[in-house]
Amino acid sequence: MRLWQIVGLLAPLYAQILWQEINTAFQRAQVLDRLLLIYIYTPWCSLCKMMEQNTWEHPTIAVFATKNFHCVRLNAEARDSIFFKGTYFPYLTELHANQLAYLLLNGKMEYPALVIMEPSGNVLLTINGYISLRLMDEILRYFGAGFYRRMSWEEFQKTYPSQL
């Protein structure tokens, strides 16, 4: 076996999600007609750290997410303004959060959170709280493979039992 073949076999074991800055991801999503996956976290959140270790770092999740979405990791408490869709969103002291995170989560500031967004900017899904490996696999397949366009979530869950 050649070295490149061995590296190819081992690559999924060391897979990491390619996180992008939100405005860049949004522009790329429009060009490539791919959904955005926006993971909203805070540095102090223990559930966020658990989700990063248990879910986002799983090779199957990392490879599928990077291949099928434009992935964004957004610190909800970022103090620097975040540029998105032609607007700067500031940190709001009274909310202890960035305005963009506040808007994406409809004011429900519970972490971690996941937002799936179309290239148009239309939000398809918002989930607050820890997402298990199995459920994340199902969510990513449902949206990333386009099943959401032709069947309900309930129908999909009957046809795609996650192996994770």
Mind listing the pLDDT tens digit for each residue in 76-128?
999 999 999 999 999 999 999 999 999 999 999 999 999 999 999 999 999 99
Cα 146 versus chain centre, distance = 16
Alpha-carbon gap, residue 67 to 53, rounded angstroms: 20
* Three-state DSSP class for residue 11: helix
Quote the pLDDT of residue 9.
Answer: 47
Flag whether pLDDT at 50 surpasses 50: yes
Name 89's bridge partners.
82
Name 98's bridge partners.
91
Residues 6+ apart with CB under 8 A from 153: 142
Quote the pLDDT of residue 14.
Answer: 54
Mind listing the pLDDT tens digit for each residue in 65-89?
999 999 999 999 999 999 999 999 9
Fold observed for domain 15-159: Glutaredoxin (3.40.30)
Alpha-carbon gap, residue 80 to 89, rounded angstroms: 9
The pTM of the full predicted model, rounded to 2 decimals, is 0.89
Strand ranges (E), 32-158? 35-41, 69-75, 82-84, 87-89, 91-92, 97-98, 113-117, 123-128
Q: How many CA atoms lie within 13 A of 116 on its CB side?
A: 18
If one compares 11 and 161, the residue with the highest pLDDT of the two is 161
What is the percentage of the chain residues whose pLDDT exceeds 70?
Answer: 91
Domain ranges of the chain: 15-159
Amino acid at 66: T
Edge-to-edge strands of the sheet including 69-75? Answer: 19-20, 69-75, 35-41, 113-117, 123-128
Q: How many CA atoms lie within 13 A of 107 on its CB side?
A: 1
